[in-house]
Amino acid sequence: MNRRMATRAVSIGGLVILWFVVTHYKLVNPLFLPPPREVWEGAVDLIQAGELREHIAASLWRMFMGFVVGSFTGVVIGILMGQFRFFHAAVGPLVEIIRPIPGLAWIPVALIWFGIEDASKVFIISMGVFLAVVTNTFVGVRSLDPVLVRAARSLGANRRDVFFRVVLPGTLPHIFTGFRLGVQVSFALLVAAELVGSTSGLGFLIQDARNYFRGDLVILGMAVIGALGFSITRLVEIAERWFLRWHSTSREGAFY
Amino acid sequence: MTVNLQVSRVSKEFVDRRAKSTVRALDEINLEVQKGEVICILGPSGCGKSTLLNIIAGFLPPSGGEVRVDGRPVIEPGPDRGFVFQEFALFPWRTVLENIEFGPVLKGMEKTDRHTHARELIQRIHLTGFEDKYPFELSGGMKQRVGIARALANDPEVLLMDEPFGALDAQTRRVMQEELLKLLGETQKTVLFVTHAIDEAIVLADRVLIMTARPGQVKSLLGVDLPRPRERTSPEFNELYRTMDDLIRVEVEKASEVQDSDSAVPGEGA
């Protein structure tokens, strides 16, 4: 563990040092890549003005909402599709038609429908998360060993018990696979949507800084996105490990 | 002695949609089992022995006839018929204790009673110390002990066992057979035990039901009047073994002829 931490510190530290050397000796135009010190000062300014916190809060809120909406509908529809043939026949094709449309292609229509406030971003993110979660949930329900349902029934379980005590926990590994994919997708979609049409958020910060040739803030915005993405992915993994502590491999193949 | 389980003229047909034909898996099976009796069911693969067990469990509806447990007709699975599966079928997200408690939880048994009950069973299957392990941490033999304890936790009228030791190695099988006999001696359960190992049937059973090749019928019902514990090397054991082997061999040959002419029955284990 300590050794791994040390390796990580060295690799991240190495990148910063490389950055420092490259900019210190003017190996690249500072307009393209500002030195670490400038980015640091830009960060301090933004933090003191309270702006960075606002941008982060705006982005996280949208992501959170989009994730909740998308994963909830994804789990519900995925389970219904897995449990009822009729529902699968009716809804399956719709999902398959929506799937090949890239999340980014939803941005214009989302801006028309929901404007440039939070709703459009939440819509786009939930769309991406939904697609990741619905498929994995469906596959999870379908790949559940039917012998477990028989076992539960012979132990006195009714339909409701079977659903909550067998189908749901049995599908959880696949649902988590969907969640993990959903987090990745939602970051990409969030930033893209904020770059195109927004008045706040980390994507907007980058776009706005670019317009004013503030390379330091562009880099800062990117670094913050990277750090947030890293942390949230870790959190999901920790949650997964706890919820799936019974799972020998703890990782299912992803379907997307 | 009271009749505990009654199988009357049970038949089963499977529809093969692709071939647009029906396959008759079971043909008018009759069987009466006394309380506390252990019946082993032997037969060639594909003869419908697992199908019969699944019908008694209520997993499959019969095409004709009926099953009664303590006089009540079987219409769906229920806790009065405990089932032990060849593939163990433990809930992987539940610990040993939680697996065994599954039935009692559904019954609404109080937590402390439930724990005491489950721990007692765990002690009887020699898994003390493994209460909080998950199935993936257990060996095959341990898993099946949990499977048996889980079925017994509901205190069922009948225990249905579908080749429960089929997935275990030979040594573990022997140990499990001995432990099962000990458990059954303590609980006096009525047991239907499907197997394709003749020696296993002779070691365990009060009576052995031998089925014909498909469509499965009762070929013969033989009492095993050997003193327990049964010695595999005794001449009586071997004589019985040979008798059963001859009976089954004929059916296996018939079955292999049938298999050449049509496809396997759906829902029938290997």
Chain B CA closest to residue A172: B93
What integer is the mean pLDDT of A231-254? 80
Is B108 touching A (CB cutoff 8 A)? no
Question: A104: which DSSP letter?
Answer: G
Pick the CATH number of B1-71+191-270 from 3.30.750.210, 2.130.10.10, 3.40.50.2000, 3.40.50.300: 3.40.50.300
Contact call for residues A199 and A27 (beta carbons, < 8 A): no
**What CATH fold (topology level) applies to the domain A34-243?**
MetI-like fold (1.10.3720)
Residue B258 confidence class, pLDDT cut points 50, 70, 90: low
Residue A137 confidence class, pLDDT cut points 50, 70, 90: very high
**Residue closest to B198 by CA, chosen among B177, B171, B172:** B177
**Residue closest to B176 by CA, chosen among B158, B156, B193, B190:** B193
pLDDT in tens, A190-205: 888 888 888 889 999 9
Per-residue H/E/C for chain B:
CCEEEEEEEEEEEEEECCCCEEEEEEEEEEEEEECCCEEEEECCCCCCHHHHHHHHHCCCCCCEEEEEECCEECCCCCCCEEEECCCCCCCCCCCHHHHHCHHHHHHCCCHHHHHHHHHHHHHHCCCCCCCCCCHHHCCHHHHHHHHHHHHHCCCCCEEEEECCCCCCCHHHHHHHHHHHHHHHHHHCCEEEEECCCHHHHHHHCCEEEEECCCCECEEEEEECCCCCCCCCCCHHHHHHHHHHHHHHHHHHHHHHHHHHHCCCCCCCCC
Q: What percent of chain B is modeled with pLDDT above 70?
A: 95
Which helix (H) or strand (E) element contains residue A97? helix A85-98
pLDDT value for B270: 40
Residue A43 confidence class, pLDDT cut points 50, 70, 90: confident
Q: Is the pLDDT of residue B135 over 90?
A: yes
* Separation of first and last alpha carbons in chain B: 35
pLDDT in tens, A58-110: 999 999 999 999 999 999 999 999 999 999 999 999 999 998 998 888 888 98
Q: Among partner residues A145, A155, A248, which is closest to B103 by beta-carbon distance?
A: A155
Whether B89 and A147 lie within 8 Å, measured CB to CB: yes
Residue B268 confidence class, pLDDT cut points 50, 70, 90: very low
Q: Please report residues of A whose CB lies closer than 8 A to that of B100.
A: none
Q: Whole-number mean pLDDT of chain B?
A: 90
Whether A155 and B79 lie within 8 Å, measured CB to CB: yes
**Closest-CA distance of chain A to residue B228, Å:** 31
pLDDT value for B104: 94
Distance between CA atoms of A144 and A146, rounded to whole angstroms?
6
Q: What's the token pair of residue A135? A: 């498929």
Q: Please report residues of A whose CB lies closer than 8 A to that of B95.
A: 246
Q: What percent of chain A is modeled with pLDDT above 90?
A: 54
Whether B92 and A152 lie within 8 Å, measured CB to CB: no
Whether A169 and B93 lie within 8 Å, measured CB to CB: yes
Extents of the domains making up chain A: 1-33, 34-243
pLDDT in tens, A154-186: 999 999 999 999 999 999 999 999 999 999 999
Is B175 touching A (CB cutoff 8 A)? no
Is B59 touching A (CB cutoff 8 A)? yes
Residue A224 confidence class, pLDDT cut points 50, 70, 90: very high
Integer CA distances (angstroms), A108 to A105, A116, A117, A195, B107, in order = 7, 10, 13, 12, 55
Is B78 touching A (CB cutoff 8 A)? yes
Contact call for residues B29 and B7 (beta carbons, < 8 A): yes
**Closest-CA distance of chain B to residue A141, Å:** 15
* Paired strand residues for B33: B5
What integer is the mean pLDDT of A39-56? 89
Whether B79 and A154 lie within 8 Å, measured CB to CB: yes
Q: Please report residues of A whose CB lies closer than 8 A to that of B78.
A: 154, 156
B229 or B263, greater pLDDT: B229
pLDDT value for A1: 58
pLDDT value for B269: 43
Q: Does ipTM surpass 0.85 in this model?
A: yes
pLDDT value for A83: 92
Distance between CA atoms of A171 and B91, rounded to whole angstroms?
12
Q: Please report residues of B whose CB lies closer than 8 A to that of A148.
A: 89, 91
pLDDT value for A38: 87
pLDDT in tens, A11-33: 989 988 998 888 888 888 877 78
Q: Among partner residues B77, B94, B135, which is closest to A154 by beta-carbon distance?
A: B77
Q: Please report residues of A whose CB lies closer than 8 A to that of B76.
A: 153
**Closest-CA distance of chain B to residue A67, Å:** 25
Contact call for residues B104 and B151 (beta carbons, < 8 A): no
Whether B85 and A147 lie within 8 Å, measured CB to CB: yes
Q: Is the pLDDT of residue A46 over 80?
A: yes
**Residue closest to B148 by CA, chosen among B116, B106, B178:** B178
Chain B CA closest to residue A242: B93
Q: Please report residues of B whose CB lies closer than 8 A to that of A145.
A: 87, 89
Distance between CA atoms of B69 and B202, rounded to whole angstroms?
25
Chain B CA closest to residue A151: B89
**Residue closest to A45 by CA, chosen among A222, A220, A224:** A220
Mutation target to probe the A interface, by most A beta carbons within 10 A, among B91, B97, B98 is: B91
Whether A154 and B82 lie within 8 Å, measured CB to CB: yes
Whether A169 and B91 lie within 8 Å, measured CB to CB: yes
Q: Is the pLDDT of residue B44 over 90?
A: no
**Closest-CA distance of chain A to residue B29, Å:** 22
Residue A212 confidence class, pLDDT cut points 50, 70, 90: confident
Q: Whole-number mean pLDDT of chain A?
A: 89
Q: Is the pLDDT of residue A254 over 60?
A: no
pLDDT value for B68: 94
Which helix (H) or strand (E) element contains residue A10? helix A2-24
pLDDT in tens, B12-32: 999 888 878 888 899 999 999
Residues 6+ apart with CB under 8 A from A54: A200
Q: What's the token pair of residue B236? A: 């009586």
Contact call for residues A181 and A254 (beta carbons, < 8 A): yes
**Closest-CA distance of chain A to residue B78, Å:** 5
Distance between CA atoms of A116 and A68, rounded to whole angstroms?
20
Q: Is the pLDDT of residue B267 over 50?
A: no
Distance between CA atoms of B191 and B53, rounded to whole angstroms?
11
Q: Among partner residues A150, A161, A247, which is closest to B59 by beta-carbon distance?
A: A150
Q: Please report residues of A whose CB lies closer than 8 A to that of B81.
A: 154
Extents of the domains making up chain B: 1-71+191-270
**Residues of A at the B interface, defined by Cβ within 8 angstroms:** 145, 147-148, 150-157, 161, 165-166, 169-170, 172, 245-248
Contact call for residues B172 and B141 (beta carbons, < 8 A): yes
